[in-house]
Chain A
């Protein structure tokens, strides 16, 4: 079974441009998470969805960031306009949440974003 798929794997863009990151979770999983990793701040949760519904977006840094999950097999994270400080590795993870305890999250390989 394929794991979490993210695209693109690398993105280099110029400040002010729109960036869209894509994620396909593991089939059958009902929760999807977007994280950002930097050397300074480590791995931070941005937003997560349960059954395609956003549950908590308090980690989204600014209004420039938005995320959608139109169906159970696809999610996007959009940055518009992008800024150099957005440069980081963005991870998508999915999980089958059965309730009551911490379930395993399966991470994709990440998208390395560089904003010049």
Chain B
């Protein structure tokens, strides 16, 4: 099983600030996903990155997949209280894709204070 480490574990910042959270592994992943989870709910997919070096934007969120496909980052510009949540990165449990269970990082608990 391939392991994913996320940092920081907790992050509390003021509204309007920028932030970056990281997802790292010693293993190569065919793809990585980022999920956001709110209290009392299941994770919801934000993005899937597939190609090394790929950058995807989702409004104020920018996701990057490392060139070597061992790491990924999530950058939030001008954070808002609605961005508060648990951000999880996930990759296929084994080297393949398709019908594969996910291995998750432990997540970054993000709090945006008004």
Indicate, yes or no, whether A interacts with B: yes
Query: How many residues on B have C-beta within 8 angstroms of the other chain's C-beta atoms?
Result: 26
**Docked CA distance A95–B98 (Å):** 10
- Judge whether A109 and B48 touch: CB under 8 Å: no
Contact with B along A88-116 (1 / 0, CB 8 A): 00010101011111111111111000000
Tell which of B55-63, B68-76, B77-85, B102-110 binds the partner.
Answer: B102-110
- Judge whether A56 and B93 touch: CB under 8 Å: yes
Judged by a CB distance under 8 angstroms, whether B11 is at the interface is: no
- Judge whether A97 and B99 touch: CB under 8 Å: yes
- Judge whether B43 and A107 touch: CB under 8 Å: yes
**Docked CA distance A104–B103 (Å):** 14
- Judge whether A99 and B98 touch: CB under 8 Å: yes
Q: Say yes or no: A91-B31 contact (C-beta < 8 A), given A97-B98, A97-B99, A100-B97.
A: no
- Judge whether A104 and B48 touch: CB under 8 Å: yes
**Docked CA distance A109–B38 (Å):** 10
The interface residues of chain B, by DSSP majority, are classed as: loop
From A48, A59, A110, B42 is in contact (CB under 8 Å) with A110
- Judge whether B102 and A105 touch: CB under 8 Å: yes
- Judge whether B99 and A99 touch: CB under 8 Å: yes
Judged by a CB distance under 8 angstroms, whether A45 is at the interface is: yes
Judged by a CB distance under 8 angstroms, whether A67 is at the interface is: no
Query: How many residues on A have C-beta within 8 angstroms of the other chain's C-beta atoms?
Result: 31
Q: Say yes or no: A101-B97 contact (C-beta < 8 A), given A42-B104, A42-B106, A42-B107.
A: yes
8 contacts between A and B (CB under 8 A): A43-B43, A43-B88, A98-B98, A101-B31, A102-B100, A104-B45, A107-B43, A109-B41
B residues apposed to A, CB below 8 Å: 30-31, 33, 40-45, 48, 50, 88, 91-93, 97-107
The 9 closest A-B pairs by CB, nearest first: A107-B42, A42-B106, A45-B101, A43-B104, A97-B99, A101-B97, A99-B98, A102-B31, A50-B99
A residues apposed to B, CB below 8 Å: 4, 31, 33, 35, 41-45, 48, 50, 55-56, 59, 91, 93, 95, 97-110
